[in-house]
Amino acid sequence: MKKIWKKIKNSRIVKVLFARKAVVVCLIILALMILSAVFAPLVSPYDPYKQDLKSMLLGISPEHWLGTDPMGRDLLSRIIYGGRVSFIVGLVSVLVAGGIGMILGLIAGMAGGIIDAFIMRVTDAMMSVPMIIMALFLGSILGKGLGNICLAIGISMIPSYARVTRGQVLTVREMDYITAGTLCGASKLKNTLVHILPNCISANIVLMTMNLGNAILNEAALSFLGMGINPPTASWGSMVNDGYKYMSSNPVIAIAPGVFIMIVVLCFNMVGDALRDAMDPKLRGTLGKKKKSRKKETA
């Protein structure tokens, strides 16, 4: 166990991530938000679905830290429960997009010819449409609901994973060890699954991390437009939609969930950017060189 911990501690990914204070802060914020969403029944001060018409549109107070919504429900409790929906949509949609996209990219890169051209032209057509427009179109066909929203957002993000995976496959399949495996009798399928696929995963992991924020943002946009999660389920986007009508009298109702959306998307983007630098082979060894050069300059 100690050896495993030592390897993790000394790995380049951990060093790069924890060398940046901003990334460490983002990781702490994300960890706190995820834990509060998982343990929402223990953390939230009130039932997020219990209506109290006598406490409608209350302001910030010791009893209600962020006030109440038009139905008298505690806003902080609904934000905590809304985090569950956002993180589930982000994780599931990214896994759906990554899984399907990697399969299509592998098929296109290894098959070549007409199959490659057909898959890439379809992905080009999908990428020509903005992601939110594609998600709106798919959401209107599939309908509301958590599962349908995850599927709609996941399908809209497939082209990026397909293109990234295809690019990796075209590079890796020309390597000497792939040729050596073929000469030793390895089939095309074995080379693809054992040697090529593992080399495509790191780039897709980085893309998944960065797309988590985009998926959460798209879910919020769909919920804001009334095509997201069915009420009364708490969702950050639907909370902004319900609260913007009261911007003049009680702006916290719309601003508070919007701030949470902004923080989560920003944190995921910063962590994804740092993870990309850590897993990029071209940047290996630059972390220590930068520190040494700074020491020489100061000396």
Domains of the chain: 75-286 (1.10.3720.10)
- The SS3 of residue 68 is strand
Say what the pLDDT of residue 288 is.
45
Q: Which of 46, 52, 43 lies closest to 75, judged by CA?
A: 46
Non-local (6+) Cβ contacts of 143 within 8 A are none
Q: How far apart are CA 207 and CA 122, in angstroms?
A: 20
Instruction: Please provide residue 74's backbone torsions phi and psi, each rounded to the nearest 5 degrees.
Output: -65, 125
Q: How far apart are CA 279 and CA 11, in angstroms?
A: 11
- The SS3 of residue 131 is helix
Say what the pLDDT of residue 285 is.
45
Residues of the chain with pLDDT under 70: 1-13, 280-299
pLDDT tens column, 192-228:
777 788 888 888 888 888 888 888 888 888 888 878 7
Question: Do the beta carbons of residue 278 and residue 16 sit within 8 Å?
Answer: yes
Say what the pLDDT of residue 281 is.
53
Q: Tell if the pTM clears 0.85, that is, is over it.
A: no
Question: Do the beta carbons of residue 138 and residue 159 sit within 8 Å?
Answer: no
CA dihedral 279, 100, 96, 18 (to 10 degrees): 0
Q: How far apart are CA 231 and CA 73, in angstroms?
A: 13
